[in-house]
Amino acid sequence: VWTLAFSPDGSILISGSGDGAIRLLDPQTGALLGDPLTGHSDLITSVVFSPDGKVLASGSGDATVQLWDAQTGALLALLGDPLTGHSDWITSVVFSPDGEVLASRTVDATVRLWDAQTGALLGDPLTGHGDSIMSVVFSPDGKVLTSVSTEGIVRLWDLSLIKRVPA
């Protein structure tokens, strides 16, 4: 197991593992809830629930992000394919407080922002770090994203300046 996350109400624990599978577990008993979710071709490095608990996001060593229906375990049909845009391992995925934006960070020193409903990229990659990004966090109001890298540099990103990438 590489990563764990609780659902917002604490009723489900999700795990991501080296075999590329995501497992939903009952945190009281440890029992598996349904079949493992598969779709990544490499280990799962990050899992997170949306703030409303309806969607879960996974990041992988295969450099993709996938969004899943938390109730059915289905890969969300509105997205179809995994979200691609990074050139290296996804090391973390995190939802904005309102659940509308998903940020992914990677060892390629970039942060990507995604529309969590459509899977569309929002703006260009956020660059400015010279080394692996270790953490990203949204401000409580969701207007600023903060990132920090292994070089010790902290960047603040004004999300009101991010524009949707044309299709």
**Backbone phi, then psi, for 98, in 5-degree steps?**
-90, -5
What is residue 102's predicted lDDT score, i.e. its pLDDT?
94
* Residue 99 backbone class (left: φ over 0; alpha: ψ -120 to 50; beta: rest): left
Residue 23 binned pLDDT confidence (cut-offs 50, 70, 90): very high
Cβ neighbours of residue 72 closer than 8 Å, sequence gap 6 or more: none
CATH superfamily of domain region 3-161: YVTN repeat-like/Quinoprotein amine dehydrogenase (2.130.10.10)
User: For the chain, what are the domain ranges?
Assistant: 3-161
Residue 6 binned pLDDT confidence (cut-offs 50, 70, 90): very high
Residue 61 binned pLDDT confidence (cut-offs 50, 70, 90): confident
Give the dihedral sign, CA 129/131/132/134.
negative
Mean pLDDT of 45-74: 91
Burial class (CB in 10 A: 0-12, 13-18, 19+), 126: buried
What is residue 91's predicted lDDT score, i.e. its pLDDT?
86
Task: Look up the pTM and report it.
Answer: 0.86
* Tokens of residue 114, six digits: 């995604």
Is the pLDDT at 79 greater than 60? The verdict is no
What are the DSSP E strand ranges found in the chain? Answer: 3-6, 13-16, 22-25, 44-49, 55-60, 64-69, 83-84, 90-95, 101-106, 111-115, 133-138, 144-149, 154-158
Nearest Cα to 5, choosing from 51, 63, 69, 62? 51
Is the pLDDT at 76 greater than 80? The verdict is no
Is the pLDDT at 57 greater than 60? The verdict is yes
Cα 94 from chain centroid (whole Å): 5
Residue 113's identity, in one-letter code, is L
Is the pLDDT at 85 greater than 90? The verdict is no
Distance of alpha carbon 3 from alpha carbon 16, whole angstroms: 5
Per-residue pLDDT tens over the stretch 123-167: 888 888 888 888 899 999 999 999 998 888 899 999 888 755 444
Higher pLDDT, residue 136 or 86: 136
What is residue 86's predicted lDDT score, i.e. its pLDDT?
61
